């Protein structure tokens, strides 16, 4: 799990959009987590945790896979919302694999309250 640092209270409009997308995706699917990412062209991808007997993928993992499958070369930002209030090392690695170091990953609760930020 990552070490979260306090985040600024004011999110940019673009990061606020990621929070909204992650929150609505999680609520719609009733999944453990919702996540959203923004790629280098400003395109957004939102997903929920996949928890099938034969396939388990985190919400952030699904977002990264969607971005890669759509031709994204990098990511600018990510948001993960869930009960745990954390992002796993494996999820940070997936973002880092695509986007390199320094990508902000904001983490919050299911209601969309961002508790902190970590970076790849």
Kindly give, in sequence order, each residue whose CB lies less than 8 Å from that of residue 19, ignoring residues fewer than 6 positions away.
Answer: 11, 36, 79, 81, 106, 108, 112, 114
The pLDDT, as a whole number, for residue 2 is 56
- Does some domain include residue 97? yes
Range of the domain at 34: 13-108
- Does some domain include residue 58? yes
CATH code assigned at 44: 3.40.140.10
Kindly give, in sequence order, each residue whose CB lies less than 8 Å from that of residue 74, ignoring residues fewer than 6 positions away.
Answer: 39, 40, 98, 99, 100
- Domain count across the chain: 1
- Does some domain include residue 119? no
Cβ 30 vs Cβ 59: under 8 Å: no
- Does some domain include residue 55? yes
- Does some domain include residue 50? yes
Q: Name the pTM for this structure.
A: 0.91
* Sequential pLDDT tens for the chain (120 residues): 556 566 655 789 999 999 999 999 999 999 999 999 999 999 999 999 999 999 999 999 999 999 999 999 999 999 999 999 899 999 999 999 999 999 999 999 999 999 999 999
Q: In what order do the strands lie in the sheet with 104-108?
A: 44-48, 33-39, 75-82, 104-108, 114-119
The pLDDT, as a whole number, for residue 27 is 94
């Amino acid at each position: 799990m990552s070490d979260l640092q306090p985040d600024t209270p004011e999110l940019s409009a673009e990061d606020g959009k990621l929070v909204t997308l992650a929150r609505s995706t999680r609520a719609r699917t009733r999944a453990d987590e919702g996540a959203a990412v923004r790629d280098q062209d400003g395109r957004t991808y939102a997903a929920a945790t996949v928890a099938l007997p034969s396939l388990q993928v985190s919400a952030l993992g699904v977002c990264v896979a969607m971005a890669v499958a759509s031709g994204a070369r990098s990511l600018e930002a990510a948001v993960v919302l869930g009960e745990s209030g954390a992002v796993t090392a494996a999820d940070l690695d997936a973002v880092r694999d695509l986007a390199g170091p320094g990508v902000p990953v904001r983490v919050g609760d299911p209601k969309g309250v961002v508790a902190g930020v970590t970076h790849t």
